[in-house]
Structure 1
Amino acid sequence: MERKLIAIDLDGTTLNAASQISPKTKAVLTKAREAGHYVSIVTGRPNRISADIYDELQLDSPMINFNGSLGHIPHHHWRDEYQYTFNKEIALDLLAHRQELGINMIAAEGKNLFLAVRDQPVEVGFFPSVLQSNQILNQKTLLENPTSLTIAVDRSHQEHLLSYLNLNFGDEIDAAPWGGPNSVVELGAKGVQKATGVEVLAHHFHVERKNIVAFGDEHNDSAMIDYAGWGVAMQNATTPIKNLAQDVTTLDNDHDGLANYLENYLKLAE
């Protein structure tokens, strides 16, 4: 079998509902690498909350964060490292208009950037419940262009926020609402998607598109699943993702769906 590049989403895909990696998943991904295949994490998560998973899987491949906007090798210098950013004035504009836009929280992030402001308590899993004084987002602290802005907004204001963003900054950024229970909108540089990162990985590993296998479950995986030669939707994926993929796992992310599928697909079972 030709070497495959296996691009794995984290939440809802590689991770179970408790955001953990099962022993089976770890074992199968290790076996895939031992068989000569490449495994890379391609996630919407920031690097600050995916490096521990990267380490747990004992990977040494490049990792893609922020839905394609950051490509790097954790703990190492990589000459092909890249990061897409957008103008920090967009963050400052939203900061100034946050009340009328129904914004409860804004976090500005990058590889080495984390600043946030919260006006109301927001239960969004990825954010520290207590901000240090040097993590407060304002005009004085935001000195570099962000890679990502995550905005928690009143559900009733979400459409208004999206149209405001599109009208004012639509040529600079893409805004995407999160799936799931939280009313959250995420901003990234225009036209950058997970497929952007997967293409970089394919060049890095000299793997043709037909030998890319990508696993995902949500709308932010669509470009990656479309780009891959073999796109696989999780059993728990949204209907559009299942319709886009070449195949669907038999089991969901809580029952080792990715691991079981990969074991059969790569014929790794003893």
Structure 2
Amino acid sequence: MAYKLVAIDMDDTLLTYDKQISRENLEALQKAHDSGIYVVISTGRIYASAYAYSEFLGFKPYIIASNGAMIRDDKDNEIYKSVLDVDLISYLINLANENDLYYHFYSDKIVYSPESTSKYQKYGEWNRLYAETLRVKVEDILKDIDFTDKLKDNIVKFVMFDEDSEKIKRVRDIIDNNKGDKLETTSSFYNNIEILNKGINKGNGLRILGEYLGIDRSEMVAIGDSENDTEMVEFAGLGVAMENAIEKLKNTADFITKSNMENGVAYVINKFIL
């Protein structure tokens, strides 16, 4: 099979644990791009963060951000966007507060984070750990949020956090049971719930992008490590799990590559694409 597109998750897939792109991965991506392969960064991260990392690639990739809620081409043109209704955002804020969960939500470029974080480190503090070029804009959420201005028709993803995994599971069950007809829940780490509109996921993002580019799913490769990569790994003609991936994803994948610390992305590109 001659593959035409490769979609790659960022954290713990393309990136090492210290959030770097290895030389081997970088060279493989550049070779794929130079060979005419569509390189797609497919991440749960905010678009601005994915775009910032793309500066290191030497070319502009297509980007599926926020687990498929936002898709942009290699010239930064918007292909697709799915925004959360303000009533649902209000519901999620109240639910997080009632259960003492830290939360933030974001648009394409701005993360909105509470001033008080209880048990979890403030997103703004975490963001400052990055080099300045990789930081995203963070705004504190005011007590009385004005949804009629900049937040209306602009928020694409809501995330809740807590180190108590049982609490996370319980709150996720509440969302699924009460709002499962309107909201999709997934996770990228044991301590979070990622919440989007129903049907929004990386697999759906690949489907939309494939239709836009005229590429069949059989001509796609998708590489990931976490629960939120499941749908795209299932959708692609060749679905790949990292060696460090969760077991559920490994069971879903067609192939298991080396870990994110062993240039697993480069291994796939060199073996199946170049």
- The count of corresponding residues between Structure 1 and Structure 2 is 259
Superimposed CA distance per residue, residues 38-85 of structure 1 (whole angstroms, 9 cap, x where no aligned partner):
11101111112211211211333421001111101376334xx21112
- Looking at structure 1, the residues matched to 138 and 262 of structure 2 have their Cα atoms a distance apart, in angstroms, of 41
- 186-195 or 50-59: bigger deviation: 50-59
Superimposed CA distance per residue, residues 139-178 of structure 1 (whole angstroms, 9 cap, x where no aligned partner):
4344314211111236252233123322332211112244
1:147 is matched with which residue? Answer: 156
2:130 is matched with which residue? Answer: none
1:36 is matched with which residue? Answer: 36
Deviation at 1:93, TM superposition (A): 2.8
Q: 1:46 to 1:197 in 2, by over 3 A?
A: same
Deviation at 1:102, TM superposition (A): 2.4
- Counterpart of 2:213 (choices 205, 209, 219) is 205
Contact preservation (8 Å) 1:92, 1:139: no
- Looking at structure 2, the residues matched to 13 and 206 of structure 1 have their Cα atoms a distance apart, in angstroms, of 26
1:67 is matched with which residue? Answer: 67
1:86 is matched with which residue? Answer: 84
- Looking at structure 2, the residues matched to 106 and 215 of structure 1 have their Cα atoms a distance apart, in angstroms, of 27
SS of 2:71's equivalent in the other structure is: strand
Amino acid at match of 2:156: T
SS of 1:198's equivalent in the other structure is: helix
SS of 2:124's equivalent in the other structure is: coil
- Looking at structure 1, the residues matched to 156 and 248 of structure 2 have their Cα atoms a distance apart, in angstroms, of 27
2:202 is matched with which residue? Answer: 194
2:106 is matched with which residue? Answer: 109
Amino acid at match of 1:85: V
Paired-residue identity, %: 25
Q: 1:3 to 1:96 in 2, by over 3 A?
A: closer
TM-score scaled to structure 2, two decimals? 0.85
Amino acid at match of 1:147: V
1:261 aligns with 2:259: no
- Counterpart of 1:246 (choices 240, 254, 269) is 254
Contact preservation (8 Å) 2:112, 2:138: no
SS of 1:93's equivalent in the other structure is: helix
Q: 1:222 to 1:15 in 2, by over 3 A?
A: same
- 206-215 or 91-100: bigger deviation: 91-100
Superimposed CA distance per residue, residues 90-120 of structure 1 (whole angstroms, 9 cap, x where no aligned partner):
22233335443122x2212121442121331
- Looking at structure 1, the residues matched to 241 and 106 of structure 2 have their Cα atoms a distance apart, in angstroms, of 28
- Counterpart of 1:135 (choices 132, 135, 140) is 140
Amino acid at match of 1:148: K
Q: 1:134 to 1:110 in 2, by over 3 A?
A: closer
2:118 is matched with which residue? Answer: 120
1:176 aligns with 2:186: yes
- Looking at structure 1, the residues matched to 174 and 42 of structure 2 have their Cα atoms a distance apart, in angstroms, of 29
Amino acid at match of 2:198: K
Contact preservation (8 Å) 1:107, 1:150: yes
What is the root-mean-square deviation in Å for CA atoms of aligned residues? Answer: 2.4
- Looking at structure 2, the residues matched to 119 and 161 of structure 1 have their Cα atoms a distance apart, in angstroms, of 17
Q: 1:108 to 1:74 in 2, by over 3 A?
A: farther
Equivalent runs, 1:4-43 vs 2, <5 Å: 4-43=4-43
- Looking at structure 1, the residues matched to 246 and 266 of structure 2 have their Cα atoms a distance apart, in angstroms, of 19
Which stretches in structure 1 are left out of the alignment for 5+ residues?
none
Superimposed CA distance per residue, residues 182-234 of structure 1 (whole angstroms, 9 cap, x where no aligned partner):
x2211111111101111122123322211101111111111101110011111
TM-score scaled to structure 1, two decimals? 0.86
- Looking at structure 1, the residues matched to 12 and 226 of structure 2 have their Cα atoms a distance apart, in angstroms, of 8
- Looking at structure 1, the residues matched to 138 and 25 of structure 2 have their Cα atoms a distance apart, in angstroms, of 39
Which stretches in structure 2 are left out of the alignment for 5+ residues?
128-136
